[in-house]
Amino acid sequence: MKIINLSETDSIVNQYVAELRDVCYQGNRLLFRNNISRVGEMEAYEISKTLCYEEREVTTPLGTSRVRVPADGIVLATIFRAGLPFHNGFLNVFDHAACAFVSAYREYTNKEHTEVGIHVEYLATPSIEGKTLVIADPMLATGCSMEMAYKAFLTRGEPRHIHVACVLATPDGIEHVRRTLPAEKTTVWCAAIDPVLNEHKYIVPGLGDAGDLCYGDKV
């Protein structure tokens, strides 16, 4: 399994991530969503370099031109709700892609809030048979949501390649993906890798709860 950490190379992505983390910026939900989307756009561009391409002839007002364009069938998948602005960033780049959605949420299974279960309630997806599947979720913490989402999408076919895309990842989350997804055809993309999870399974130093910062607190 390949792991691509964009923070290992200096780029504007680091500025977006800095603002996502910074409590001084987090009160602006529009900016927070826009920065999530921007990271998605940057990762989508990098993923586009790995696709298969074919030559196509297009007609211009003054003649014809031969251009190499992506040949892969792409399905952009995301996990509600924090994944929505991240997904939009990918869709801005892969505007011809089909889209898939799954609702997966964490629920603490003990009163101390140290053990987490993942529940999947909703699935809407085209066939992913033979497609390049991009699963976009901003936070790859334990990796359990990604595993459950992947298993849900598998009910609609076997993808040719899987790109797991996130803003922040942890070593635990990456290792869980390695164990539960087919490593030989999976690539993990992230803007940064943070070292640990706290006792409540949040990434540290992280950025907080991405869904709440995008859309407001849950009750």
Report the pLDDT value the prediction gives residue 115, as an integer from 0 to 100. Answer: 60
Q: What is the pLDDT of residues 52-72, one digit of tens each?
A: 999 999 999 999 999 999 999
Q: Which domains does the chain have, with CATH numbers?
A: 2-215 (3.40.50.2020)
pLDDT digit string, tens, across residues 114-136: 565 566 778 899 999 999 999 99
**Separation in Å, CA 143 to CA 34, 64, 139, 166, 187:** 24, 48, 9, 11, 14
